Amino acid sequence: MTSPGVWRLTSFGRGDANSSPAAPAGSNAQNGPRWWADSANENTDTPNSGNCRPSAGGCNNTTAVPNIGLTAGSLPGVLLANIQSYNTVPSTQMRVAEAAVATVVRAADIHVRWGAGGTIDTVWDDTHGVPVPFDSVAGASWGILNQTSFANTPQAVTGDLKNNLLTWADATCVAPIPRYSAGALSPGTMCGDLADAQAAHLQQTAALSPIAIRSNGSAYGSDGVGAPAYTATGNGFIFYLNGHFFMMQMAALPATGTVWHARFYSGAVTGTPGSYAFVSETRPANVPGLRVRVAYSASTFDPSTTTATNLERVHTVPDPYYVSNALETTANQKVLQFVNLPAQAIVRIYSLSGVLVNVLTHNDPQGGGLLNWDLRNRNNQFVASGVYFYHVEAPDGKKKVGRFTVVNFAP
């Protein structure tokens, strides 16, 4: 199994910033998962066109850029934003998190069915036909990030310095991501030095918490240090699914029975509206619960039977036999082999005049078809040079007759 690089699974913005796939600046910016509801297929035109174009390392989710509400499709009653380095948030912090979770992303359509009071009844992988499991840590799974998630997280080491407000920087604090960002960020920032016990943990039930889905104009520094002037824009939560984080602002939790769909892919959308193309990539098999079933038919080996076709393959090695050949070990250890014999057989050897020279018995329950003859007759004497016939008889009565030549002398 192979897995493509992170630029084809999570860090699409970094791919565009580095011209991968090779294309003019901004041609690869419109990438990322998409959400939709109320239809069999996604229904938002240019669902990722709100990303920064071209992708920029300093792109922040401010009021001006990008169009934060058009970065991951759309959902009724939800202001939806994809947290994606270079395209919606700064590069340095989030690209570390994206690299860490790229190992668990799969290409699939997934649907979410809501239960009552923020519970989630079903998260199902429609492509592979398996459930997506919940986990409190980021994996090939799902979970909800809200204020409860930060019960054990020191506020002073978070990127936004606000445990009572959800911002995009909170995604970098979800276990086990901090263990991968240690050393990549400034010490004590963006949760980069937190043990799993102090990191944020995902919840199984959604609750509306104050959320700042965009900045009021201030931006994080290049490494996320500091407390920008982020204030709540409403209430919501951060939905983690399949290696991606989505900020979701809403006035009320989804009603019981509401179904959302999300699409994830491996590859890269290129081009601009009216001239899109797609560069495909290997689809990773990071699907918990996926099973491979191989159906095959087998037969029982019966050493007492053979076929005419198999008997036709019987012959001697070498032919002709010379006094010196690769099978001999000494002058008194001569070997001629019968090959491709049935598992059980009687081999009779006759001289050219029809005199019975020797009778050999072959019996190999494992089906091996090799039988050695030491070129001695029934009187234990080496046979003379000449043409000989062999008669192979299988237990089921099938027969094969052949001949071979011996060029020899008796020592």
Q: What is the pLDDT of residues 141-163, one digit of tens each?
A: 999 999 999 999 988 888 788 89
Domains of the chain: 6-280 (no CATH), 308-407 (2.60.40.1930)
pTM (whole model) above 0.75:
no
Residue 410: pLDDT above 80?
A: no
pLDDT at site 288 = 85
What length is written for the chain? 411
Give the torsion sign (CA, 72, 266, 92, 163).
positive
Report the percentage of the chain scoring pLDDT > 70. Answer: 89
In order, the DSSP letters of 19-72 are: TSSS-STTTT-S-S-EEEESSSS---SSTTTTS-SS--TT----SSSS-GGGSS
pLDDT of residue 411: 47
Least confident window among 2-11, 166-175, 305-314, 383-392: 2-11
Which amino acid type is present at position 286?
A: N
210-233 pLDDT tens trace:
998 876 655 554 444 455 567 888
Give the chain's mean pLDDT: 86
179 contacts 146 by C-beta, under 8 angstroms: no
Mean pLDDT over residues 71-80, rounded?
96
pLDDT at 194 over 90: no
pLDDT confidence of residue 216: 60
